[in-house]
């Protein structure tokens, strides 16, 4: 691990002393595949305390606990107006193409901050990013009260999506996955039915129980999954691809139009969704803290990112750079 210089804030930025940063599967993959640029510090699911302020920053105090969206946005272009900040060509994203939070300090544009209350553990804010990813997918799925929904894949994103579905009142929520530890977590955070895809295909369960889904969230990146989920939808249903996958899925266009299906991709989230996620966490509406399997110090973070290639019973690991 190379030493990096501590950042200093630009005029409209603060420097945050990182309290916790969640280890994300996208970091695991980009390191495994050698996609991260040289010198790039990863880490985009974080919270901490303001350590320094740029000269134009007002309304924020040093020592104040904050969660921070990693997504830059200019707030002016057509892409930002659609809530797709992460695609804004004018503003880079923390831990992706500007320096991230697997570090003691990270510089953050003040507009990306959301205040946390002083009386709660600051670490709680590190759940806001993945909960937002799950919530955005649920919003795009259109799932609401009383809608049967399938969450295919119970890695962290699937698990946060389950929490978001509960918040939306959807149900029954059927979760399907391969890892025993993560299936247990799925039940723990609110899935009504949990299926082991190693022993039984979801299609079989759906046929036997006579279930068709209003929405299916593809969170597994398993080859062929997206196409298979389309068959499990009720007319007018929505299939959302949430996992990052290079697969080129085959889509039966006649089935799509004759059944009136909606096919959607969901990546990242809007500023509004991020603020809502912080609200849910602060109000204690989601059991996110139950997902933490391990906390590791900064020098244990590279090894933990390697261990997550084969997660076994690991669900979620937090890097805590000051421990
Ligand atoms: Zn992530
Ligand atoms: Zn923009």
Q: Indicate the domain borders of the chain.
A: 13-129+269-319, 131-265
Interval 175-207: pLDDT, tens? 999 999 999 999 999 999 999 999 999 999 999
Confidence tier at 273 by pLDDT (50, 70, 90): very high
**Rounded-to-integer distance, Cα 137 and Cα 110, Å:** 26
Distance of CA 18 from the midpoint of ligand 1 (Å):
16
Identify the H or E element spanning 303.
Answer: helix 301-307
pLDDT at position 307 over 90: yes
Whole-number Å distance, alpha carbon 308 to ligand 1 midpoint, is 13
* Smallest-distance ligand from the CA of 87: 2
User: Nearest ligand, CA of residue 308?
Assistant: 1
Q: Which ligand is nearest to the CA of 24?
A: 1
Note the pLDDT of residue 1: 53
Distance (Å) from CA 117 to ligand 1 centroid? 23
Distance 139 CA to ligand 2 centre (A): 21
Q: How far is the CA of 80 from the centre of ligand 2 (A)?
A: 4
Tell me the ligand closest to 316's alpha carbon.
1
Ligand 1 centroid from CA 55, angstroms: 30
Within this chain, domains 13-129+269-319 and 131-265 share the same CATH topology: no
Cα of 86 vs centre of ligand 1, distance in Å, is 12
CA distances from 166 to 195, 232, 260, 304 (A): 18, 21, 26, 30
Residue-wise pLDDT for 252-269, tens only, equals: 999 999 999 999 999 999
Q: Which CATH superfamily is domain 13-129+269-319 in?
A: Medium-chain alcohol dehydrogenases, catalytic domain (3.90.180.10)
- Distance (angstroms) between ligand 2 centre and the Cα of 129 equals 19
CB 27 within 8 A of CB 308: no
Q: Cα of 41 to ligand 1 centre, how many Å?
A: 14
Ligand found nearest the CA of 83: 2
C-alpha span between 143 and 209 (Å, rounded): 20
How far are the Cα atoms of 26, 55, 145, 149, 228 from residue 259, in angstroms, in the given order? 33, 56, 22, 17, 15
Q: Which ligand is nearest to the CA of 269?
A: 1
Q: What spacing in Å lies between the alpha carbon of 78 and ligand 2's midpoint?
A: 7
User: What pLDDT, on a 0 to 100 scale, did the predictor assign at position 311?
Assistant: 86
Q: What is the mean pLDDT of residues 152-161?
A: 97
**Residue 200 is encoded by which pair of tokens?**
């039984």
In DSSP terms, 158 is beta-bridged to none
Strand partners, 176: 152, 195
Other beta carbons within 10 angstroms of residue 227's beta carbon come to 16
Among the bound ligands, name the one nearest to the CA of residue 42.
1
Dist. CA 136 → ligand 2 center (Å): 18
- Asked if 262 contacts 137 with a C-beta cutoff of 8 angstroms, the reply is no
Ligand nearest to the CA of 73: 2
| pLDDT confidence bin for 250, thresholds 50/70/90 | confident
Model-level pTM? 0.97
Residue 315: helix, strand or coil by DSSP?
coil
Ligand 2 geometric centre to CA of 9 (Å): 21
Start-to-end Cα distance in the chain: 17
pLDDT of residue 106: 98
CATH architecture label of 131-265 = 3-Layer(aba) Sandwich (3.40)
Q: Rounded to whole angstroms, how far apart are CA atoms 177 and 151?
A: 9
How far does residue 43's CA lie from ligand 1's centre (Å)? 8
**Residue 321 Cα, ligand 2 centroid: separation in angstroms?**
31
pLDDT category, 3, cuts 50, 70, 90? Answer: confident
């Amino acid at each position: 691990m190379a030493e990096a210089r501590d950042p200093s804030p630009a005029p409209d930025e603060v420097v945050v002393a990182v309290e916790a940063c969640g280890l994300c599967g996208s970091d695991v993959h980009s390191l495994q595949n050698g996609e991260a640029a040289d010198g790039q510090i990863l880490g985009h699911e974080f919270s901490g305390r303001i350590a320094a302020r740029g000269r134009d920053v007002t309304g924020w105090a040093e020592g104040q606990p904050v969660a921070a969206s990693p997504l830059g946005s200019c707030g002016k272009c057509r892409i930002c107006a659609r809530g797709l900040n992460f695609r804004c060509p004018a503003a880079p994203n923390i831990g992706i193409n500007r320096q991230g939070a697997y570090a003691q300090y990270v510089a953050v544009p003040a507009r990306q901050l959301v205040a946390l209350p002083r009386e709660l553990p600051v670490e709680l804010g590190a759940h806001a990013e993945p909960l937002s990813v799950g919530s955005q997918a649920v919003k795009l799925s259109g799932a609401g009260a009383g809608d049967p929904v399938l969450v295919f894949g119970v890695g962290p994103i699937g698990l946060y999506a389950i929490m978001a579905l509960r918040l939306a009142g959807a149900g029954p929520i059927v979760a399907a996955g391969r890892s025993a530890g993560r299936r247990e977590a799925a039940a723990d955070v609110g899935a009504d039915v949990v299926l082991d895809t190693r022993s039984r295909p979801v299609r079989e369960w759906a046929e036997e129980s006579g279930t068709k889904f209003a929405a299916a969230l593809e969170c597994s990146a398993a080859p062929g999954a997206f196409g298979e989920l389309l068959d499990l939808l009720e007319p007018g249903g929505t299939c959302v691809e949430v996992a990052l996958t290079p697969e080129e899925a085959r889509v039966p266009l006649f089935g799509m139009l004759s059944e009136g299906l909606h096919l959607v991709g969901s990546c990242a989230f809007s500023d509004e969704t991020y603020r809502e996620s912080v609200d849910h966490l602060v109000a204690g509406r989601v059991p996110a803290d139950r997902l933490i399997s391990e906390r590791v110090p900064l020098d244990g973070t590279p090894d933990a990112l390697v261990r997550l290639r084969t997660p076994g019973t690991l669900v979620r690991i937090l890097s805590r750079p000051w421990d």
